A = this chain, B = another copy of it.
Amino acid sequence: MEETLRQARENTIQGLSLISQFWGFSKGMGAIYGAIYLSPDPLSLDELVEQIGITKGAVSTNVRHLERLGLVHKRIVIGERKDFYVAETDFWKILKGILQEREKSEFDRALRTVSESLELVGQASPLSPEDATLALFYQKRLHNLSDFFKNLDNLVGALLALENLRSGTQRTLFGKNNEG
């Protein structure tokens, strides 16, 4: 491979590692996605180990995580016993999947935590005047938090509904569909 092409690949892999880390994923996930994304052919775990320079165990764990998030897909190669991977290139589809599944469960957990706390405050009794004031304060703050999570959930829902229209009139906002 020509040297500047190799540099371009390295630079992209490095950049995606940092972005991955920034968003709360591992650096390895970004690096592996970058390597697969910039490979014209499906890549095996061994090829990834060679290209990224991390252990096979780490590659395997990160690839499984990427697969769950819909960022890479397993591809069967006839006559090969190894698993090969290709990149999902429709980033809106990926974003939508992450928002729908991963973030959805987080919203639910966040709301559950707040509800549980509110329930506990409701069970408190009998209270000293000082604790009664504190209980009211907790209720106000927890309701505020709960409202925020619910509204954020609604906003994400509204965005996903918008994204569903992308194939139609939303092309201007979301840009053209991605190549395969």
Contacts and interface: CB of A to CB of B under 8 A. Distances in A.
B1 A142 contact: no
Nearest to A122: B4
A174 B148 CA distance: 8
Q: For chain A, what secondary structure do more than half of its interface residues adopt (helix, strand, loop), or is it mixed?
A: helix
B113 A5 contact: no
A46 interface: no
B155 A5 contact: no
Given A24-B23, A106-B19, A179 B140 contact: yes
Given A4-B121, A131-B2, A14 B174 contact: no
- Interface magnitude class on chain A: 35 or more
B131 A15 contact: no
A96 interface: no
A8 B138 contact: yes
Question: How many copies of the polypeptide does the oligomer hold?
Answer: 2
A116 interface: yes
Interface in A126-180: 127-128, 131, 133-135, 137-138, 140-142, 144-145, 147-148, 150-152, 154-155, 158, 173-176, 178-179
Contacts of A117: 8-9, 11-12, 15
Contacts of A135: 2, 5
Which of A2, A16, A91, A92: most chain B CB closer than 10 A? A2
B175 A11 contact: no
Contacts of A8: 117-118, 120-121, 124, 138, 142
Contacts of A4: 120-121, 123-124
B12 A142 contact: yes
A77 interface: no
Nearest to A14: B113
